[in-house]
Amino acid sequence: MVDVLVIGGGGAGLTAAIHAKKDGANVALVSKTYPTRSQTCMAQGGINAAIGADDSIQSHISDTLKSAQGLADEELVGILCEHGVDAIKWLDKIGVPFSRNKGIAQRKMGGASFVRACYAKDYTGLKILHTLYDQCNAYDINMLSERFLIDLAVIDGKVYGAYLLNIKTSTVELFHAKSVILATGGYAKVYGKHSTNHVGSTADGIAAALRAGAKISNMEFIQFHPTALKKSSILISESARGAGGYLVNSKAERFTDELASRDKVSLAITNEMQKGEEIYLDVRHLSAKFIDEHLPQEKKLADLYENIDLTKQLIPILPAAHYTMGGICVDKNCTTNIQGLYAVGECANHMVHGANRLGGNSLLEIVVFGKIAGEAACAYAKKEMPACKVDKHKDILSQINTNPTVDFYKRRAELAEIFYTHVGVKRNEQGLLEALEYIQALQNELKNMGVKNIKLAYNTELAEFLEFKNLVLTAKTVVLSALRRKESRGAHYREDMPNKDDNFSTDTICYQENDEIKFP
């Protein structure tokens, strides 16, 4: 039994664990991968904070609100941007190896009025994540990996711990805790191969929270990055366009302003594709020296995944699902509607990104709200009595079908295609209804799916099947939310309702009751 159980070892979870421990809590951190393998390591661009001489917190706030298109909470955006400066100071202090010029080096990212994104070469997320991990070692935090959150232990609206699958042994363990912090990342892997994300961004925490009675919101808002490699959806960073790269169609014509915001460029590309065009990124006119200095990763990845030399050939690209704005509803202390349950990072909706996240704000979010969540959970645990007895042997594994007649890997790939086609950059009523119908059929079919592998030691098929079930549940909330939002706003573009409508300047909130998704 611990005071604070943190689930998820990305930037959000590690930060929360450090601050809870600092405040005196007994902390354990569990995650399905080793912490340093979390998606946070993939962030290259940078982390925003108004530390530049010309910049101001006010400007950071107004850029964030503008991008959010009326759906962010001004108070929370204020907290994010004000605490941003201290967050960078803290990261600097504990040893994050930021690149330097006069001070911490910063670069300009889309939608920012100033040069605001602090970076560490092309490894901003990697270096932050590893530095936080080292701090967890310094604070002697118990980190257990290969532990998969199956469900939260909740009785009468109060959390008592979590049921974890030990992937190494396929046993389910109840982990008792006075408070639980979910930091399990986003859900962009609903789009499968059409996502830039880490293989583990499968909505596990959001689905578990939903099953436990938590509210979630704005699930329809998913940011598509305009330039991912066509075959693999590996991200080609914005800097390729920032440096003067062109977007061209099969006729070698440019068709859009390459420097417009991500949602606009993704939309322009999708329109072009619907005319039957193939889309390419063209950097051939940039000097070889420039490419070696500024785009070395992209050069390597284009060679590896598309077998092309980008200094001589066009790079085939497609928009891909990149960041999920929706998540578990939390207040400014990261509290959910379940007592003792907190959520932080991409799995939560901190109401700072609204309809469209600004690049560089999510790394900031995980550090700023990670601290707040850790401190809040610690304060709660200190006044909480030891947990009551919860059902120790929740029998989860025996319910899994070991003679499946339907292959879930096939369905997972199908779901991804259907989502990319109908719930992608462009949506309409008919397509969304088709997607809904597909998901409902999938839910009925789930009983015929399961795992062929019945071995206990390190059964990754079992973990992947549990992830798939979470994706299906989450997918349903995305489609239902998208159907209700009869307007276009930020990353949610309805071709049948292309304008913003003030009647929809509110969050789309839902929860699950008797196996049904409800909207209050």
Partner 1 sequence: MKIKLQRSDKIFEYEVPLNGVTLLEALGYIKENIDSTLAFSSGCRSSVCGSCAVRVNDKEVLACAYKPKDDDLIQPLRNMPILRDLAVDMDRALAFNKIAKAWGLPKEEALHVSGEDAKRNELQSDCILCSACFSACPVYSVNEDFIGPFALTRSLRYVNDIRQKDIKPTIEAIQTNGIYDCTLCNECVPVCPQGIAPKQDIEILRNKSGIMGYLNPNILAGFDDGLNF
Ligand X SMILES: Cc1cc2nc3c(=O)[nH]c(=O)nc-3n(C[C@H](O)[C@H](O)[C@H](O)COP(=O)(O)OP(=O)(O)OC[C@H]3O[C@@H](n4cnc5c(N)ncnc54)[C@H](O)[C@@H]3O)c2cc1C
Are 338 and 315 in contact by the 8 Å Cβ rule? The answer is: no
Instruction: State the Cα–Cα distance between residues 301 and 306, nearest whole angstrom.
Output: 8
Nearest by Cα to 344 from 206, 201, 249: 206
Counting contacts by CB under 8 A, is residue 202 touching partner 1? no
**Binding piece for partner 1, criterion CB under 8 A, among 294-302, 309-317, 344-352, 357-365:** 294-302
Are 487 and 497 in contact by the 8 Å Cβ rule? The answer is: yes
Q: Which does 11 bind (CB under 5 to 8 A by kind): ligand X, partner 1, none?
A: ligand X
262 among known catalytic residues: yes
**Binding piece for ligand X, criterion CB under 6 A, among 291-299, 362-370, 392-400, 491-499:** 362-370
Choice from 3, 8, 215, 446 touching ligand X (CB under 6 A): 8
Q: How far is the CB of 402 from partner 1 (least distance, A)?
A: 12
DSSP state string for 132-151: HHHHHHHTT-EEE-SEEEEE
Q: In what order do the strands lie in the sheet with 216-217?
A: 348-349, 327-329, 216-217, 509-513, 516-518
- Choose, from 262, 357, 489, 494, the residue flagged as catalytic: 262
Counting contacts by CB under 6 A, is residue 38 touching ligand X? yes
Taking the least distance from each CB to ligand X, the nearer of 124 and 512 is 124
Q: How far is the CB of 155 from ligand X (least distance, A)?
A: 21
Nearest by Cα to 342 from 174, 183, 511, 137: 183
45 token code pair? 């661009």
Q: Which does 99 bind (CB under 5 to 8 A by kind): partner 1, ligand X, none?
A: partner 1
Residues 6+ apart with CB under 8 A from 473: 203, 207, 210, 211, 512
Q: Which does 305 bind (CB under 5 to 8 A by kind): partner 1, ligand X, none?
A: partner 1
Q: Which does 94 bind (CB under 5 to 8 A by kind): ligand X, partner 1, none?
A: partner 1
Q: How far is the CB of 486 from ligand X (least distance, A)?
A: 28
**3-state class of 482 per DSSP?**
helix
Counting contacts by CB under 8 A, is residue 32 touching partner 1? no
Q: How far is the CB of 273 from partner 1 (least distance, A)?
A: 23
Q: How far is the CB of 89 from ligand X (least distance, A)?
A: 17
How do 171-182 and 341-343 pair as beta strands? Answer: parallel
Choice from 340, 360, 424, 490 touching ligand X (CB under 6 A): 360
**3-state class of 444 per DSSP?**
helix
**Binding piece for partner 1, criterion CB under 8 A, among 193-201, 285-293, 368-376, 487-495:** 193-201
Binding mask 201-240 for ligand X (x = CB under 6 A): x--xx-----------------------------x-----
Nearest 5°: the CA angle 483, 484, 489 is 90
Counting contacts by CB under 8 A, is residue 237 touching partner 1? no
Our measurement of the distance from residue 24's CA atom to the centroid of its chain's CA atoms, rounded to an integer in Å, reads 29
Instruction: State the Cα–Cα distance between residues 353 and 327, nearest whole angstrom.
Output: 11
Q: Which residue has the tokens 């990212």?
A: 109
Counting contacts by CB under 8 A, is residue 244 touching partner 1? no
Q: Which does 64 bind (CB under 5 to 8 A by kind): partner 1, ligand X, none?
A: none
Q: Is the dihedral of CA 322, 325, 326, 329 positive or negative?
A: positive
Nearest by Cα to 341 from 299, 288, 302, 380: 380
Q: How far is the CB of 500 from ligand X (least distance, A)?
A: 25
Task: Kindly give the interhelix angle for 204-211 and 460-484, rounded to the nearest 10 degrees.
Answer: 70
Q: Which does 436 bind (CB under 5 to 8 A by kind): ligand X, partner 1, none?
A: none
Choice from 7, 96, 222, 334 touching ligand X (CB under 6 A): 7
Counting contacts by CB under 8 A, is residue 127 touching partner 1? yes
462 token code pair? 């079992």
Residues between 312 and 341 that touch ligand X (CB under 6 A): 323
Counting contacts by CB under 8 A, is residue 414 touching partner 1? no
Our measurement of the distance from residue 457's CA atom to the centroid of its chain's CA atoms, rounded to an integer in Å, reads 29
Q: How far is the CB of 64 from ligand X (least distance, A)?
A: 12
Taking the least distance from each CB to ligand X, the nearer of 39 and 69 is 39
252 token code pair? 């070698």
Cβ burial of 502 (10 Å; 0-12, 13-18, 19+) is exposed
Taking the least distance from each CB to ligand X, the nearer of 48 and 256 is 48
Are 237 and 291 in contact by the 8 Å Cβ rule? The answer is: no
174 token code pair? 């109840």
185 token code pair? 């990342």
Q: Which residues would be at the binding site for partner 1 (CB under 8 A)?
A: 33-34, 36-39, 41-42, 89, 92-95, 97-101, 103, 120-121, 123, 126-127, 130-131, 134-135, 137-138, 145-146, 168, 198-200, 232, 234-235, 297, 300-301, 304-305, 307, 409, 451-453, 455, 457-461
Contact positions toward ligand X, by CB under 6 A? 7-13, 30-33, 35, 38-40, 42-47, 124-125, 147-149, 183-185, 196-197, 200-201, 204-205, 235, 323, 345-346, 359-363, 366
Catalytic positions are 262
